[in-house]
């Protein structure tokens, strides 16, 4: 099991919307193959950007409110937040270089 932060419907606002750092949340589920494919990339990025960007995961099977609030109908979806606003949405399992390019725009 990885040590990447997991957020829930209960903790989402405090951890992400009110985060001082920019943030990225990986919306995923156990049943989703492409989520498994992009998972290791997200974990690597969470280490590489530690202290600069808060990177977390949310299980959409266990948390229904937050995905609905952001209109998520595809997983994996990565949403990038800055100052409590959605800065970018990345749909599907994209390669690291693309995700990292979008992350750098948050800094």
Partner 1 sequence: MQMYDVIILGGGPAGLTAGLYNARARLKVVLYERLAPGGQVLTTDWVENYPGFPDGVSGFELMDRMKSQAEKFGLEIQNDEVMRLDLSESKKIVTTAGETLETKAVIIACGATWKKLGIEGEERLMGKGISFCATCDGPFYRDQEVAVIGGGDTAVEEAIFLTRFVSKVHIVHRRNQLRATKLIQERAMAQEKIEFVWDTIPVSVLGETGVEGIELKNVKTGVVSRKAVKGIFVFIGTIPNTELVKGQLKLDESGFIVTDDNMQASVPGVFAAGDIRSKLFRQISTAVGEGATASYAVEKYLEKSLTSS
Number of residues binding to partner 1, judged by CB under 8 A: 28
State the Cα–Cα distance between residues 105 and 66, nearest whole angstrom: 24
Nearer residue to partner 1 within complex by CB, 6 or 70: 70
State the Cα–Cα distance between residues 101 and 107, nearest whole angstrom: 11
Binding-site member from 72, 82, 87, 88 for partner 1 (CB under 8 A)? 72
97 binds partner 1 (CB under 8 A): yes
32 is catalytic: yes
Of 7, 16, 32, 53, catalytic: 32
Main-chain phi, psi angles of 96, to 5 degrees: -55, -45
Q: Which residues, 6 or more positions from 84, have their beta carbon under 8 angstroms from its beta carbon?
A: 17, 18, 19
Residues from 17 through 56 that contact partner 1 (CB under 8 A): 29, 31-41, 44
Binding residues (CB under 8 A) for partner 1: these are 29, 31-41, 44, 61, 71-77, 89, 91-93, 95-97
Catalytic (active-site) positions: 32, 35
């Amino acid at each position: 099991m990885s040590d990447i932060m997991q957020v829930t419907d209960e903790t989402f606002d405090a951890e992400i919307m009110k985060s001082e750092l920019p943030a990225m949340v990986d919306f995923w589920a156990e049943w989703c193959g492409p989520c498994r494919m992009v998972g290791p990339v997200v974990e690597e990025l969470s280490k590489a950007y530690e202290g600069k960007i808060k990177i977390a995961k949310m299980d959409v099977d266990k948390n229904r409110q937050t995905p609905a609030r952001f209109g998520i109908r595809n997983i994996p979806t990565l949403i990038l937040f800055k100052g409590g606003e959605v800065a970018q949405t990345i749909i599907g399992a994209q390669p690291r270089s693309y995700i990292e390019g979008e992350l750098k725009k948050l800094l």
